């Protein structure tokens, strides 16, 4: 038997486009001599469909998509993920299902058993878990059909679940495992994925074909990296990251094992490629073409501009330099140099006259009061207004340039520098932004060296530096990582050796600024715990405030 993995980029709700793409992959798999082609979890509708699943018409279109694919299952079997209805009154209305199609019809359906409801996942909101387990018999082989999380409770050791689907299927003596996944990217996920697949192989001693999505759905990135693993635990093949691919494998060769093929896993390369794909698909799937952002001469806007240009093409990225009386000459020069290095169209719109007009207008109300954060925020909001005006006039989408460190502690201005349709580096800590800049420059200077080496500054008052208001980023980011990603509280952080006053100050800043993050653009997720859908915190919580 020859088995094809079709790692594709699906578009949520685009049933016609998704099926057309799968039919093209079916034809390609046939050309490669495949007997069976496998697509990923909820491939007909795209993942995650969220509350679209509550619309009866959405489910009808998913059913029609499966019917179209079934008609194409002639001379080749097709395995595809799609929602299906629960025919009984008890339980949720839907299942998250894997359909086995052959000879022009649906031969068998296996529902997903383990429904993740944590971090970015909320599947128990919509789906009923499977209660029956039956292998699929095809061309003399017995196939264990599983869906994503079903392989993540090895030997029933995961405390989130009480059943292990593969343990239920093994008495039926399957010859291999097919797993249909929608496994979102983080820069550590590829290693975790391989570890879980290998752990299944070690327990069950049969090969696995694991197919993943490749593409972006707003903040979620799916990196592909589909896996074929032999019974000896060797990674027979790992498909490319961040791109579509159809590959066919002879089952006998996979069973024989002995071959190891892996993809490189450099952290910055993964983050870079994930963000580029995220920006590209956000624009492409929404039908947008052009982006605009403010270019200050600082590291964050420089990295954002470079990533956007690589995603959309430099001809589709416009940058605006908006100097004030506090902007240094080198910042303006650095911003101009970056734009020229990348061939970006740029405008220079000084904000000093507008800021002076605001000062004059508010003089009666602010009489006798010292310059403070109010005036700093006015400057940021003037810049935000300029970007939004340009966006409205020319149809460009504003890209937000805030990093994760700033977003965490509220070092940003609502309706100013925090505006935008998509947060590009909002899940990248400041120290990582510098690493990313170095990676962008690995083949030659794109981001001016001075932008990377100078002390970070918002330049909203004379001689301002970020370090005036925040701890050094090396310390700040270390504490933030432990609190956000690792969920370590103040006592644990203090026990690690961090200063108590500093810990309590940082954690308080994170918590009291939840209201800002609640109002900001969706953030491309590259870590294991990003702000947004995967981190749900109360705005008015008292904890550490």
For the annotated catalytic residues, the residue numbers are 41, 112, 148
Exposure string over 216-241, b if 16+ CB within 10 A, otherwise e: bbbbbbbbbbbbbbbbbebbbbbbeb
| Number of other residues whose CB lies within 10 A of the CB of residue 118 | 10
User: What H or E segment, with its residue span, contains residue 451?
Assistant: helix 449-453
d(CA 279, CA 288): 11
C-beta separation of 219 from 195 below 8 A:
no
Strands 94-102 and 105-111: antiparallel
Beta bridge partners of 367: none
Distance CA 342, CA 229 (A): 42
Contact assessment for residue 128 and residue 92, using Cβ atoms and an 8 Å cutoff:
yes
What is the 3 state secondary structure string of 122-168? CHHHCECCCCCCCCEEECCEEEEEEEHHHHCCHHHCCCCCCCCHHHH
Quote the CA–CA distance of 132 and 165 in Å, as a whole number.
Answer: 9
Q: Would you say 406 and 476 are in contact if contact means Cβ atoms under 8 Å apart?
A: no
SS3 101: strand
Rounded Cα distance, 452 and 297, in Å: 10
In whole angstroms, what is the distance from residue 245 CA to residue 240 CA?
A: 7
Residue 105 main-chain phi, psi, to 5 deg? -150, 170
Neighbours of 15 (CB within 10 A): 22
Q: Are 1 and 247 in contact (CB under 8 A)?
A: no
């Amino acid at each position: 038997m020859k088995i094809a993995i079709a790692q594709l980029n699906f578009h949520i709700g685009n049933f016609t486009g998704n099926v057309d793409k799968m039919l093209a992959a079916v034809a390609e798999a046939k050309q490669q001599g495949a007997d069976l082609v496998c697509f990923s979890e909820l491939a007909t509708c795209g993942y995650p469909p969220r509350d679209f699943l509550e619309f009866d018409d959405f489910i009808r279109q998913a059913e029609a998509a499966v019917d179209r694919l079934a008609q194409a299952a002639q001379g080749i079997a097709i395995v595809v993920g799609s929602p299906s209805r629960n025919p009984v009154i008890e339980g949720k209305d839907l299942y998250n299902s894997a359909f086995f199609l052959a000879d022009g019809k649906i031969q068998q359906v296996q529902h997903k058993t383990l429904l993740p409801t944590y971090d970015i996942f909320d599947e128990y909101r919509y789906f009923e878990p499977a209660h029956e387990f039956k292998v699929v018999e095809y061309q003399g082989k017995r196939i264990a059909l599983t869906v994503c999380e079903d392989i993540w409770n090895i030997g029933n050791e995961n405390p989130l679940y009480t059943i292990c689907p593969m343990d239920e299927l093994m008495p039926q003596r399957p010859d291999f495992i097919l797993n249909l996944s929608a496994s979102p990217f983080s820069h550590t996920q590829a290693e975790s994925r391989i570890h879980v697949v290998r752990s299944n192989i070690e327990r069950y001693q049969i090969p696995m074909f694991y197919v993943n999505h490749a593409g972006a759905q707003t903040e979620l990135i799916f990196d592909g990296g589909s896996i074929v693993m032999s019974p000896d635990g060797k990674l027979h093949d790992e498909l490319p990251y961040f791109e579509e691919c159809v590959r066919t494998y002879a089952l006998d060769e996979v069973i024989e094992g002995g071959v190891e093929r892996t993809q490189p896993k450099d952290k910055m390369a993964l983050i870079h490629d994930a963000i580029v794909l995220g920006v590209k698909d956000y624009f492409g799937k929404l039908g947008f073409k052009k982006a605009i952002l403010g270019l200050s001469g600082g590291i964050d806007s420089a990295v954002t501009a470079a990533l956007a240009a690589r995603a959309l093409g430099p001809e589709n990225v416009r940058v605006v330099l908006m100097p004030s009386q506090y902007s240094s000459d080198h910042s303006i020069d650095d911003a101009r140099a970056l734009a020229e290095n990348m061939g970006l169209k740029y405008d220079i719109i000084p904000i000093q006259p507008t800021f002076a007009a605001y000062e004059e207008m508010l003089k009666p109300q602010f009489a006798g009061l010292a310059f403070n954060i109010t005036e700093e925020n006015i400057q940021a909001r003037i810049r935000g207004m300029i970007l939004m005006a340009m966006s409205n006039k020319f149809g460009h989408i504003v890209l937000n340039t805030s990093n994760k460190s700033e977003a965490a502690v509220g070092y940003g201005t609502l309706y100013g520098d925090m505006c935008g349709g998509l947060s590009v580096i909002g899940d990248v800590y400041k120290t990582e932004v510098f690493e990313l800049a170095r990676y962008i420059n690995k083949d030659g200077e794109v981001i001016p060296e001075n932008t990377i080496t100078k002390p970070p500054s918002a330049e909203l008052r004379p001689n301002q530096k970020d370090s005036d208001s925040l701890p050094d980023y090396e310390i700040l980011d270390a504490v933030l990582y432990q609190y956000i990603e690792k969920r370590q509280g103040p006592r644990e952080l203090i026990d690690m050796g961090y200063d108590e006053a500093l810990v309590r100050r940082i954690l308080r800043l994170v918590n009291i600024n939840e209201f800002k993050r609640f109002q900001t653009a969706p953030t491309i997720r590259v870590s294991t715990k990003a702000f947004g859908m995967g981190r749900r915190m109360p705005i008015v919580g008292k904890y550490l405030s």
